[in-house]
A and B are shown apart, each in its own frame.
Chain A
Amino acid sequence: MTDDLPADRPVRDDGPRVPAGRPAAAGDGLPQPAVGRGGRRRDQAVALGWLVAVWILLWGGLSWANLLGGLVVGTAVLLFFPLPPVTFGGRLRPGALLTLAVTFVGELVSASVHVAAVAVRPGCRPRGAIIAVPLRVRTDLNLALTAEVISLVPGTLIVEVDRDQGVLYVHVLDVRGPEDLTSSRKRILAVERRIVRAVGSPDEIRRLRTEPVDRRSPS
């Protein structure tokens, strides 16, 4: 395989980012929220808060020593292992979040039962397929969340991510015919829709409606 796939491009840590392969004028309508110095600071403060919470949970009790230790370790982690900025531009919607969580648990159970059944079915060599699924909302956050969730729901597993184009390459297990591929595609887009409805901005939700569902890979 080629080694220069876009997903591997090192990410420079320079605030609002417009990936090279994506012309901003092409009706994208999806400006990353402008991240100034203050926004970056706020993101880091939120991350530090989470790290301290994890540290305290790991030690199993709240004390001044744990709190201070957590602050020191969290600051060190943020300083020495900086991540590309993922700014949360939408808002949380409790109802849609609940739908997402409940569907996720249901699909995780049915996926596990399905894979377990395939595993113990005697004399079976399951056939697979790799399909390209272009997402409608191409923010890093949506890409990452969708990729995580569809790895845990029935039949699908991420093989490759094209970050600039917002395309997920997905391996499908136990393919019996073309209709299985169509239903997997639909299921992935449904996962994306639930995620965007739960955490996306109003603009992103509008894109779900306007973009045709069957936009194929531009390759």
Chain B
Amino acid sequence: MGAIADWLGGACLLAGALLSLAAGIGVLRFPDVLDRMHAATKPQVLGVLLLLLGLALRLRTPSDLGMIVLVAVFQLATAPVAAQMIGRAAYRSGRVDRDLLDTDELAGR
């Protein structure tokens, strides 16, 4: 039982690390602030969640589990808000490359 949880936890840690790496590459390579925010929300959040799940499977003590759940909830709640604030600030201050946008229904609003 413990061995299975350890293996599963290890797999989760590895997958989470890979996703975080992909998020980092995305932030580095994407041409624009808004694209970068995509990388900073989705793979990053899932990466952190998988790392936390891996940790929970390895630690298995109630007080650690409470803390892990708390971190996961706050990560889910705050990452989109942070990305939106940065995206909005970038858009309003004109730091968005309009050549990369196919349509822009926010223009002129």
Chain A interface residues toward B at CB < 8 A: 1-3, 5, 54, 57-58, 60-61, 108-109, 111-112, 114-116, 118-120, 125-132, 147-148, 151-152, 154-155, 157-162, 169, 171, 173, 175, 181, 217, 219
Contacts and interface: CB of A to CB of B under 8 A. Distances in A.
A119 B40 CA distance: 11
Residue among B19, B38, B63, B70 having the largest count of chain A Cβ atoms under 10 Å? B38
Contact of A157 (B19, B83, B107): B83
Q: Secondary structure at chain B's binding surface: helix, strand, loop or mixed?
A: helix
A140 B64 CA distance: 34
B101 interface: yes
A128 B30 CA distance: 11
Interface string B60-92: 000110110110000011011101100110011
B91 A60 contact: no
A126 B30 CA distance: 8
Given A132-B105, A148-B80, A155-B38, 16 more contacts: A61-B63, A108-B45, A112-B43, A115-B43, A116-B19, A119-B43, A120-B25, A126-B100, A131-B103, A132-B106, A148-B76, A151-B83, A152-B80, A159-B106, A219-B108, A219-B109
29 contacts: A1-B94, A54-B70, A60-B67, A108-B45, A112-B19, A112-B45, A112-B47, A116-B22, A116-B43, A119-B22, A119-B23, A120-B22, A128-B100, A130-B106, A130-B107, A148-B80, A151-B41, A151-B84, A152-B76, A154-B42, A157-B38, A158-B84, A160-B109, A171-B34, A171-B87, A173-B35, A173-B38, A219-B108, A219-B109
Nearest to A177: B102
B37 interface: yes
A130 B39 contact: no
A49 to B, nearest CB: 15
Contacts of B80: 147-148, 151-152, 158
B26 interface: yes
Interface string B36-55: 01110111011100000000
A164 to B, nearest CB: 12
Nearest to A161: B84
B32 A128 contact: yes
A26 to B, nearest CB: 21
A111 B106 contact: no
Interface of B: 19, 22-23, 25-26, 29-32, 34-35, 37-39, 41-43, 45-47, 63-64, 66-67, 69-70, 76-77, 79-81, 83-84, 87-88, 91-94, 100-109
A203 B59 CA distance: 46
A173 B107 CA distance: 17
Given A115-B26, A116-B26, A171-B34, A130 B101 contact: yes
A138 B69 CA distance: 30
A109 B46 contact: yes
A162 B25 CA distance: 32
B26 A118 contact: yes
